[in-house]
């Protein structure tokens, strides 16, 4: 490490050690940024040197605050008080910025999914690989599609299940994730059970074999394209002739969903935000 980067590391670690606010639970973004910086720096340095020892001890202290915060949130969720506990973190504004942030870090620690032990199967044509909807957009989805505990929310291509799990916690709605990769569906189900969320379930199946009869709100984070998307939209259109539904969509599939004549947008569409549609009969 050269002199300039060592001087910078000294200044950073001095500043982080002095910043007493980093251990306050609500200083989440700042604490996660500090933890990430320390991890990156410790990866590149010798941690038996005095500065490395200070950095490791600071990292352990902040990681402990974070672990206790996540355990407290898990306890609230298991006690059925997760909505109030998690709404404290609701972003004031969802402005269409791209990428993931500290809320994704928090929720992945709270949900604590097990790592897949077997390889994930290759995807068939028109299937899109797993990528989670960023957490701030899930808060936005819940608010703008007005989900209540009378709804049945279905995530089409649910991956590890962040969306149905968070929607169930925030709204009390029955939530279902349909996922073709049985490893993801199994890990998601285990997470829901460990949080004692009995209104969430996951089905390891292709959406083309699924029954959408109960659904009132369907989420599509561009899970598939081409003929699979066309077939699913046609099935939903037929269901919507009998029963009103909302569709939330995110990513490139939104332009295809928006072109469906049987759907009306709810509010103006903003790029990089969840789009909400209602069926019209």
Ligand X SMILES: C[S@@+](CC[C@H](N)C(=O)[O-])C[C@H]1O[C@@H](n2cnc3c(N)ncnc32)[C@H](O)[C@@H]1O
Select the residue interacting with ligand X from 145, 159, 202, 216 (CB under 6 A).
159
DSSP string, the chain: --HHHHHHHHHHHHHHHH-GGGGSTT-HHHHHHHHHHHHHHHHHS-TTSHHHHHHHHHHHHHHHHHHHHHHHHHHHHHTT-HHHHHHTT--S------S--HHHHHHHHHH-PPPP-SPPPPPPTTB----PPPHHHHHHHHHHTT--TT-EEEEES-TT-HHHHHHHHHH--EEEEEES-HHHHHHHHHHHHHTT-TTEEEEES-GGG---TT-SEEEEES-B-HHHHHHHHHHHHHHHTTS--EEEEESTTHHHHHT-TTEEESS---TTS-EEEEE--
Choose the stretch contacting ligand X; rule: CB under 6 A; options: 99-107, 144-152, 176-184, 273-281.
Answer: 176-184
Q: Does 201 bind ligand X (CB under 6 A)?
A: no
Q: Does 276 bind ligand X (CB under 6 A)?
A: no
| Distance of closest approach, residue 107 Cβ to ligand X, in angstroms | 11
Select the residue interacting with ligand X from 7, 131, 149, 264 (CB under 6 A).
131
Choose the stretch contacting ligand X; rule: CB under 6 A; options: 54-62, 140-148, 156-164, 273-281.
Answer: 156-164
Q: Does 155 bind ligand X (CB under 6 A)?
A: yes
Choose the stretch contacting ligand X; rule: CB under 6 A; options: 51-59, 83-91, 128-136, 265-273.
Answer: 128-136
Contact letters (x/-) for ligand X, 224-263, by CB under 6 A?
A: x---x-----------------------------------
Choose the stretch contacting ligand X; rule: CB under 6 A; options: 22-30, 55-63, 179-187, 240-248.
Answer: 179-187
Q: Does 189 bind ligand X (CB under 6 A)?
A: no
Are residues 126 and 228 in contact, defined by beta-carbon separation less than 8 angstroms? yes
Q: Does 166 bind ligand X (CB under 6 A)?
A: no
Choose the stretch contacting ligand X; rule: CB under 6 A; options: 3-11, 37-45, 89-97, 123-131.
Answer: 123-131
Query: Would you tell me which residues interact with ligand X (CB under 6 A)?
Result: 127-128, 130-133, 155, 157-159, 162-163, 178-181, 184, 206-208, 221-224, 228
């Amino acid at each position: 490490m050269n002199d300039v980067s060592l001087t910078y590391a000294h200044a950073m670690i001095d500043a982080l050690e002095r910043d007493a606010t980093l251990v306050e639970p609500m200083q989440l973004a700042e604490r996660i940024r500090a933890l990430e910086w320390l991890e990156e720096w410790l990866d590149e340095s010798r941690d038996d040197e005095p500065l490395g020892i200070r950095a490791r001890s600071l990292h352990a202290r902040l990681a402990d605050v974070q672990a206790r915060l996540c355990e407290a949130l898990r306890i609230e969720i298991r006690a059925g008080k997760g909505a109030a506990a998690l709404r404290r973190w609701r972003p004031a504004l969802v402005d269409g910025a791209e990428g993931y942030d500290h809320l994704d870090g928090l929720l992945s620690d709270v949900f604590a999914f097990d790592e897949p032990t077997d390889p994930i199967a290759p995807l068939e044509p028109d299937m899109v690989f797993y990528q989670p909807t960023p957490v701030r957009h899930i808060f936005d989805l819940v608010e703008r599609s007005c989900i209540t505990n009378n709804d049945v929310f279905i995530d089409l291509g649910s991956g590890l299940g962040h969306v149905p799990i968070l929607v169930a916690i925030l709204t009390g709605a029955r939530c279902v994730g349909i996922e073709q990769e049985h490893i993801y569906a199994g890990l998601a189900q285990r997470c829901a059970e460990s949080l004692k969320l009995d209104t969430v379930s996951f089905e390891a199946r292709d959406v083309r074999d699924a029954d959408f009869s109960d659904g009132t709100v369907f989420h599509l984070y561009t899970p598939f394209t081409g003929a699979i998307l066309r077939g699913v939209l046609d099935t939903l259109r037929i269901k919507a002739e009998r029963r009103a539904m909302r569709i939330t969509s995110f990513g490139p599939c939104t332009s295809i969903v928006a072109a469906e004549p049987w759907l009306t947008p709810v509010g103006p569409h903003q790029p990089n935000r969840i789009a909400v549609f209602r069926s019209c009969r």
